[in-house]
Amino acid sequence: MEPQVGSSSSSSSSYDVFINFRGEDTRNTFVGHLYRALKDSGIHVFVDSKDLWKGENIGPELLRAIKGSKLSIALLSERYAESRWCLLELSQMLECHRINGQIIFPIFFKVNPSDVKNQTGNFEISPQKHGKEKPQTLDTWKEALREVGVKSGWVFNDGNDEAELVEGIVQDASIRLNRVPLIDVKYPTGLESRVESVLTLLSNTNSKDVLFLGIWGLGGIGKTTIATTVYNRICGKFSKSCFLNDIGDTASQLNGIDCLQQKLLCNVFNNEMKIYNPKQGSRLIKERLGKIDILLILDDVSHHTQLDALAGDINWFGPGSRIIITTRDQGTLCRIPENDRKVYEPKELNIKESLQLFSSYAFSMNKPPEDYMQVSNDIIHTTGGLPLALEVLGSYLSMEKEKEVWQSMLRKLKQVPHDDVYGKLKISYDKLHDNIEKAMFLDAACCFIGYEEEIVISIWEACGYEPRFRLEVLKKKSLLKINEQKVRTGTYIRKSKVLLMHDQIRDMGRQIVNNQNPTKLGKHSRLWSYDNIMKVLSGGKGNEMVGALPRSKNHILNTKIFKKMPNLRLLRVDGVTLEGNFQCLPSTLRFLSWCYCPLEELPTNFYHEEIVMLDLSHGYFKLAWNNCLENKVFQQLKVLKLSNCVKLFESPNFSGFPCLERLYLDGCSLVNLHESIGKLQQLVYLNLGFCISLKKLPNSICRLSSLQKLILSHCILLTELPKSIGDLKESLVELLLDYTNIKALPDGVGLLKKLEVLDLSHCFSLVDLPRSLENMTYLRYILLSGRAKLRYIPKLPSNLIELRFCELLSSLTDLRNMKRLEILWLKNLCVKEEQQFIRGIVRKSYGEFNLMALACQICVHYSWLMHGQFFKLMIDRSSLVLSSQREHVLGETINVKDKFGYVCRREMKVIFVNTRFLMMRSVAGG
């Protein structure tokens, strides 16, 4: 919502200005002149008199006058501090400033501001001078003088022009009092928490520092609404304030930057200034605002040159200034030094907030009527929590009471966004720098959402796009996100970066493609709708990208149709039967997804020299590339997915993939790997997980000099690793062996100096670990859970972060050297009294209790633990938590609750306790 100027919000103010002064010094001179000048300007002024004082405290009428005034003037004269009434008034004025944002103008009338700030000279506050006052009162007065002493104000000395000073004060007071708040948002659903987040960021810095704060996010997320509300909340706390909206649009017009600079100076100083060029405007802004504390909102900044012209540096503004920038492009903020800026990214509304906001516009109530509840819920799910979309749709549907119209709108929204929302969001797309950025955005919107970042980068690199740089541009413009998602591989949880996009942004991108030529699908650059894809393929039209065909349709396509598609780059034909010569596929093709391929054997002519990614997951073929000629290779292929090809018993010959980087064979029925695997010198990722028939790895696998990750999880027939595994010492980072039947790790494992993750969980046959583990200085995670029959655990590396033991024998290693250990996971463990395996672990964090889960049987003598402290000790069998977080004593028996909050039958006895650590054992366990 764009801010608009409207009438001032209702106010309880009784007066415009309250004047605080010592009467004997200035009542009949300066204050008299100031009072008359303010009155002549139409300003309602309150001047106190002795008749208002009742006893020792501020009288009710005077208190109402201070609280009810919009602006207070503190006239600090030579004998000001001798008056307890002046100091009491000043304390009350500052309290109103802190609570309500009341404006305070200090005037240092023939006094030194530093004396006021430091309470020196005539402004000394002491028991000797104010003997009747309580110490707390004196402290309050000192703080009040310190606060007013550091505020910017007027300094008047002998020789200054009193009339000029009075004129300046009246002019400034008129500007401040005539400031009209921006109109608030009609329905502030979800707004308060977002505004509070911004206010917290603004306050978490020195009050005298100049701070830039960026509110960054996609169009329609509510950036302007948040900035407007923040402006209304805090503008009164600044000497000056200004809200400049639609900066991007204005700047794009002729002399737009000059116009914005002129508007800024005019709004702040209330008089017209002619600016002839941006350089002159920037110089004037710096000169005029350099000593003023200002709240400046720069709304919808689209390029860093606009920011350079209006707020080029922190030294353009006085101490305590706050400059808030709303933008869709995070790159506009990068010119501001990191120490001087903060960034807030508003999140989408949740389901509850979305329903309430939509209902407010559609029905003028917090939730829809019961008979409209389901269709309303369906509609808000299409908006992705975007406030703009909820407002537009709610307002539109408020005029339509026929439920059939609502259902029709819902069907349309599932295909394309509403026109008003589309137009707002498309601004970001239109401002992309070049056609390659636009092509990458449309690729992502139509095809790559949910794909791993590195895979998509490989495809785009093959298209000549320089994607790493341009991806950053798309992210900073809020058109694309790269999110880390947790992916479980066996027991180990890794993070994977995937491409994500807001639903409304995705729909906007797809609508751009639809609008390329609404009546001729063959002119569309990309297709993803099944019906449209079939129409185009049947006609052999020329598109760059064809989306996925539903595999349940069992369609048969002849490869000849692709001869008429010379620009085809991306093709998904999952579940389709392709017939004919595969050399008909155009040379421009870079990505082919043919999941659920129904063929029992891949044809000998199935190769392509330019494809970068080939996905044949869930295929039904038994043989693949075993009969290919050497000159028939996938020369550029970097990613090959054969996941879950359950009939693939014989390993492919890998000679035809010289540039392969990622190979997925997980879930296949391979018995052995072809020796040619060793030729893949660029391979960094090899997934053989769940190859339950795989018995042995070829020695050639140890020649993969670039291999970083080797996944063998759930290869249940695998009993050993190649002895030369140590040859991967310069590359291998992760080795996952969970749920294998490996009996012993070869000594070569200890040579893997780059290894960070070693997963041996549920290796039930494992009996030995190499003693050389201690030398693996990069190792961070060792997982040893399961009923392993380890005879001996060697000394482990000191840099471990996570260590898991589960159902092991009691021969545990000494952990005293592990200074970085963060997680120690023990399960079903019983240790003997003489074992001091836990001593010496360094504490990293402090919580009420570190132990929030416990085992069925654990017996550790508490005195051993007094020598060390812990970060996180997870002694786990079930989700048992403490019944309360209170102090416990040794020997006490307490109940524990399960994850549903029910008290368990088992009682636990406290065997160790201090202020931050609690350990218990089962009473039944002795």
Rounded Cα–Cα distance for residues 357 and 819 (Å): 51
Q: What angle do CA 453, 455, 460 make, to 5 degrees?
A: 90
> Which region among 103-107, 349-353, 626-630 has the lowest average model confidence (pLDDT)?
626-630
CA dist., res. 865 & res. 855, Å (int): 17
908 pLDDT exceeds 50?
A: no
| Residues 379/408, Cβ–Cβ less than 8 Å | no
Check residue 421 and give its pLDDT: 87
Return the closest-CA partner of residue 710 out of 664, 767, 652, 777.
664
User: Residue 270 — very low, low, confident or very high, per pLDDT cuts 50/70/90?
Assistant: low
Where is mean pLDDT largest: 88-102, 194-208, 525-539, 715-729?
715-729
Q: Which long-range contacts (CB under 8 A, 24 or more apart) does 163-166 make?
A: 163/33, 165/107, 166/30, 166/33, 166/34, 166/37
The mean-pLDDT minimum among 197-206, 382-391, 796-805 falls in 796-805
Higher pLDDT, 355 or 845: 355
Rounded mean pLDDT, 528-541: 67
pLDDT at 813: 55
Residues in the chain: 926
Residue 539 pLDDT exceeds 70: no
pLDDT number for residue 83 = 87
pLDDT tier, 404 (very low <50, low <70, confident <90, very high otherwise): confident
* Backbone φ, ψ for residue 824 (5° rounding): -120, 115
Confirm if 626 and 650 have CB atoms less than 8 A apart.
yes
pLDDT at 666 over 90: yes
For residue 39, what pLDDT is reported?
81
Q: What is the model's pLDDT at position 817?
A: 67
Given a cut of 70, is residue 203 above it in pLDDT?
A: yes
pLDDT of residue 667: 94
Confidence of residue 611 (pLDDT cuts 50, 70, 90): very high
pLDDT of residue 316: 94
Q: How many helices (H) and strands (E) does the chain have?
A: 23, 33
Q: What is the DSSP string of 529-561?
A: -HHHHHHHHHHT---SEE-PPPGGG--EEEGGG
Phi-psi region of 616 (alpha: psi -120 to 50; beta: other; left: phi over 0): alpha
Catalytic residue among 89, 353, 453, 734: 89
Which stretch of 168-172, 240-244, 269-273, 792-796 has the lowest confidence by average pLDDT? Answer: 269-273
| For residue 94, pLDDT beyond 50 | yes
* Mean confidence (pLDDT) of the chain: 79
Q: Determine the 3-state secondary structure of 479 from DSSP.
A: coil
Which residue do the tokens 């004196």 mark? Answer: 138
CB atoms closer than 10 angstroms to residue 484: 11
Give yes or no for residue 3 having a pLDDT over 70: no
Whether the pLDDT of residue 549 is over 50: the answer is no
Q: How far is it, in rounded angstroms, from Cα 394 to Cα 417?
A: 14
User: Sign of the C-alpha dihedral, residues 560, 564, 566, 567?
Assistant: negative
**89 among known catalytic residues:** yes
Predicted local confidence at residue 492, as pLDDT: 57
User: Is the pLDDT higher at 254 or at 740?
Assistant: 740
CA distances to 109, 285, 305 from 175, rounded to whole Å, are 22, 18, 30
Q: What is the pLDDT of residue 848?
A: 29
pLDDT band (50, 70, 90) for residue 375: very high
Looking at residue 775, its pLDDT comes to 83
Average pLDDT over residues 820-837: 53
Average pLDDT over residues 243-266: 88
Beta-ladder partners of 571: 546, 592
pLDDT at 77: 92
pLDDT band at 553 (very low <50, low <70, confident <90, very high): low
Please report the pLDDT score of residue 237 as a whole number: 77
* Token duo for residue 677: 């695997």
Strands 211-216 and 322-327: parallel
**CA 678 to CA 676: how far, in whole Å?**
5
Q: Name the residue with tokens 């079930």.
A: 878
How confident is the model over 111-125, as a mean pLDDT? 92
Q: What is the mean pLDDT of residues 28-50?
A: 79
pLDDT (0 to 100) of residue 73: 94
Q: Which of 268-282, 460-474, 511-525 has the least mean pLDDT?
A: 511-525
Using CB atoms within 10 A of its CB, is residue 565 exposed (0-12), middle (13-18) or buried (19+)? buried
Percent of the chain having pLDDT more than 70? 78
Given a contact cutoff of 8 angstroms between Cβ atoms, the answer to whether 513 and 526 are in contact is yes
% of the chain exceeding 90 in pLDDT: 34
Angle between the 435-443 and 467-476 helix axes, to the nearest 10 degrees? 80
> Which two structure tokens, joined as six digits, stand for 434?
């070049």
> What pLDDT is recorded for position 552?
43
Which token pair is 195?
Answer: 């505004």
Confidence of residue 390 (pLDDT cuts 50, 70, 90): very high
Q: How far apart are CA 640 and CA 617, in angstroms?
A: 9
Could you tell me the pLDDT band of residue 814, with boundaries at 50, 70 and 90? low
Which of 362-371, 541-550, 761-770, 849-858 is predicted with the least confidence, judged by mean pLDDT?
849-858
615 or 864: which leads in pLDDT: 615
Is residue 873's pLDDT more than 50?
A: no
Other C-beta atoms lying within 10 Å of the C-beta of residue 55? 6
pLDDT greater than 50 at residue 862 = no
**What are 408-444's pLDDT values in tens digits?**
888 888 877 888 888 888 888 998 988 999 999 999 9
Residue 47 is predicted with a pLDDT of 82
Mean pLDDT of 459-475: 89
Between CA 726 and CA 22 the distance in angstroms is 87
- The predicted pLDDT at position 755 comes to 94
Q: What is the pLDDT of residue 889?
A: 42
Question: With b meaning 16 or more CB within 10 Å and e meaning fewer, what string describes 822-853?
Answer: bebbbbbbebeeeebbbebbeeeeeeeebbbb
Residues 6+ apart with CB under 8 A from 528: 446, 447, 510, 547, 548
Distance CA 695, CA 673 (A): 9
pLDDT in tens, 316-328: 999 999 999 999 9
Please give the average per-residue pLDDT across 52-80, as a whole number. 76
Residues 348-369: pLDDT tens digits?
Answer: 999 999 999 999 999 999 999 9
pLDDT higher for 851 or 194? 194
pLDDT for 496 equals 79
- The band of 787, judged by pLDDT with boundaries at 50, 70 and 90, is low
Position 903 scores a pLDDT of 39
Region 649-669: what's the mean pLDDT? 93
Q: Where are the beta strands (DSSP E) in 41-129?
A: 45-47, 69-76, 103-109
**Region of poorest pLDDT, from 74-78, 166-170, 630-634, 676-680:** 630-634
45 burial class (0-12, 13-18, 19+ CB within 10 angstroms)?
A: buried
**What is the mean predicted confidence (pLDDT) over 159-184?**
78
Of 114-123, 151-160, 548-557, 595-604, where does mean pLDDT reach its minimum? Answer: 548-557
521 compared with 629, residue with greater pLDDT: 521
| Cβ 888 vs Cβ 894: under 8 Å | yes
pLDDT value at 7 more than 60: no
